[in-house]
Structure 1
Amino acid sequence: MKVYYECAPCFLRQAKEALDLATEDENLKMEVMEELVGIVYNEFRKDAVSNEVGTKIHRTIKERTKNEDPYLLEKKKGNEIALKFLPKIKKIIKEKDGLEAYVKAAIVGNIIDFGALGVNFDTEKGIIENMEKDIALNHVPELEEDLKSAKTVLYLADNNGEIVFDKLLIEKLKEYDVEVTVALKEKPILNDACVEDALQIGLDDAANLISTGTDSIGVIYGDVSEEFKEIFDESDLVISKGLGNYEGITEMKLGDKPVFCLLNAKCDPIARDIGVNLGDNVVLKL
């Protein structure tokens, strides 16, 4: 996805929050922010890809502050929130049971995002409100139909905490007799889930786990490993979670395989790019 005009102030808002999490050194914050403003000045243009600019910003923060995981405490908080709501989510799913209920739970998990929504967002309130909303753009019937002819599914994970709800959907997907592989980040960036985060919640019991081979926000084809590219190319169906993956995968050559984006449209640029309203839950077949 190409940047929209609102992306520039959002990059700087995220940069400020990440710096505050990464270091308490005020002089260093000033030095790094000068660099980050320079990145936005040099990289922000009409045809720039949003997650590529964001990746450069957050890699710079990690490198300059020597803090490899600024969002570590937020990631732990995300897991705590998800586990708190897990019994309630399971109860709702059990009452409805169909694929759409599991998909909706996974999308609601996408609310646990301290990057897009900020570190002060009331995540618990967001989860409750979104569980009561329908899926505004709903390609679940197409997903269910494509699952019937697929043998392998590649699931692009997004945030820590969110993967707790992803696990419920992945277990449901296996009822369609598919082998599921979940791709996670090689190293921390924002509050994205890494392989070790997935192991902590037992996601390896439900799927094969691989890393993208990098720490990019979402997927950037030029950054990912050859192993990931091979699995991506050979998978029969791809499920892409979240904003960063949407931003990246819409810039990739997808071939003939069905690709489904599951997300909450948490910002105006994403909503406009897809053609939905801000805050809508989305299941989009590309």
Structure 2
Amino acid sequence: MITFKQIPEYCRPCLENLVKQAMGFACGEDHEKLTLALSWLDEIYDESTSPPLIASKLHCRIKNYCQNEDPYAPLKTREIDISRDIFQRYGKDFEDSFRKRLIFSLLGNTIDFFRPPEDIEEVLKTGLTLAIDHVIEIENRLKQSQTIILLTDNAGEVFFDLPLLKWFSQRGYEIYYAVKPKPIQNDLSLSDLEKLHLKIPAKVIATGAEMVGLDLDYASEEFKKLYLNADLVLAKGMGHFETLSMKPGREEIAFLLCAKCVPVATALKVPHKSYVVFLME
């Protein structure tokens, strides 16, 4: 089993940049407040704890301190607008098969604040090669499955997920679309989805965990029961890989992600910025 481990020379500086960004979005650029936020990182940082869990604790503290429930709202609006436009122009090109719909959902993971959103246009033009390709293994697993959970990542990815959700729905799967209960970073939250007024071809459920990625210790009992009993879980993004590879809570999880940072690429043994469809057993 592949397990993510922190590489401090990469993870610590990344968390420092994230703290500065989050405090800037939440309270505005202020040297004293940035210094305070960095002191919180000193207090919370632990090399044995996954970076998403550390980041989540910091986000919640910053939101409370600044009295700003959704600091990343402007960034999410921009990502959603970009994603909607790309979906309208390219979405139908990926409807031929389950594989293409899965790849299209994965392509949405290119868009977030760690990389320029224009990157996805380049990938759409040049094509995508998977560094780990377990699509066939997932298709075989689906033959024995009925209940599926798709753990969402960034807010803009909702448009990239729609064709895949529709595929599951049309074939009679019980498909759940799992979102964050409250705004956290630029992840898709229940309130984001409600504002979009989209017809989601799945049962929408909140994880109950106000965090990047997922740790079942923070999830609601309702979601935890669903997660543990689902036939297949598809988890999007690095945050889910970083948290769930360390504490999966179940025997199988399929990760869909772009390895945007060196520690994640190192854990998966793939080149930096590679795309991965990885069924962890």
> Normalized against structure 1, the TM-score is what?
0.90
Structure 2, unpaired ranges of 5+:
none
Match of 2:36 in 1: 32
Give 2:27's aligned residue. 23
Please report how far the alpha carbon of residue 201 of structure 1 lies from its aligned counterpart in structure 2 after TM superposition: 4.2
2 CA distance for matches of 1:159 and 1:247?
15
Matched, 1:224 2:228: no
In structure 1, the partner of 2:58 is 57
Per the alignment, residue 3 of structure 1 pairs with: 6
1:129 aligns with 2:130: no
CA distance in 2, matches of 1:34, 1:127: 32
Cα distance, 1:216 vs. partner?
0.8
- Partner secondary structure for residue 222 of structure 1: helix
After TM superposition, give the deviation of residue 83 of structure 1 in Å: 0.7
User: 1:247-267 deviations in whole A, cap 9, x for unaligned?
Assistant: 1111224434x3200011111
Mapping of residues 109-120 of structure 1, within 5 Å: 109-114=108-113, 117=114
Aligned equivalents of 2:207 and 2:272: distance in 1? Answer: 29
Q: Which moved more, 1:151-160 or 1:81-90?
A: 81-90
Residue 203 and residue 245 in structure 1: after superposition, are their counterparts in 2 closer, same or farther (change >3 A)? farther
Amino acid at match of 1:130: V
Matched-pair contact (CA < 8 Å) for 2:5–2:263: no
- Quick check: 1:89–1:105 contact (8 Å CA) kept in 2? no
Q: Which residue of 2 aligns with 1:98?
A: 97
> How far did residue 242 of structure 1 move?
0.5
Show the counterpart of 2:256. 262
- Asked if structure 1 preserves the Cα contact closer than 8 Å seen for 2:182 and 2:191, the reply is no
Q: Counterpart amino acid of 1:14?
A: L
Alignment identity in percent? Answer: 30
Contact 1:2–1:50 (CA under 8 A) maintained in structure 2: no
How large is the RMSD of aligned CA atoms in angstroms? 1.8
Q: Note the alpha carbon deviations across 1:168-200, whole angstroms, 9 max, x for none.
A: 211122344311011110111100001122234
Deviates more, 1:167-176 or 1:189-198: 167-176
Task: Please list, as runs of the form range in 1=range in 2, the aligned pairs for 1:173-188 lying within 5 A after superposition.
Answer: 173-188=168-183
CA change 1:197–1:151 in 2 (3 A) is same
Q: Over residues 217-269 of structure 1, what are the superposed CA-to-partner deviations in whole Å (9 max), with x where a residue is unaligned? A: 1101211111110110111110001111111111224434x320001111111
TM-score by length of 2: 0.91
Amino acid at match of 1:44: D
Give the partner amino acid of 2:94.
I
Q: 2:216 aligns to what SS in structure 1?
A: coil
Q: State the SS of the aligned residue for 1:193.
A: coil
Moved more, 228-237 or 56-65: 56-65
Aligned partners of 2:199, 2:240: CA distance in 1, in Å? 21
* Alignment CA distance shift 1:252-1:203 (3 Å): farther
Provide the C-alpha distance between the structure 2 equivalents of 1:202 and 1:235, rounded to a whole number of angstroms: 27
Q: How many residues align?
A: 274
Judged with a 3 Å threshold, the aligned counterparts in structure 2 of structure 1 residues 24 and 255 are, in CA distance, closer, same or farther, namely: closer
Aligned to 1:86: 87
Do 1:137 and 1:281's aligned partners in 2 also have CA atoms closer than 8 Å? yes
CA offsets, 1:34-80, max 9 Å, x none?
433423xx5232x2222211111211211211111110001111110
Provide the rounded CA distance (Å) in 1 between the counterparts of 2:188 and 2:225.
Answer: 21
Letter in 1 for 2:107: V
- For structure 1, the residue ranges without an aligned partner over 5 or more in a row are none
1:161 is paired with a residue whose SS is: helix
1:164 and 1:201 in contact (8 A); partners too: no
Q: Kindly indicate whether the alpha-carbon contact (under 8 Å) linking 1:185 and 1:193 is maintained by their aligned counterparts in 2.
A: yes
Partner Cα separation in structure 1 for residue 105 and residue 81 of structure 2: 16
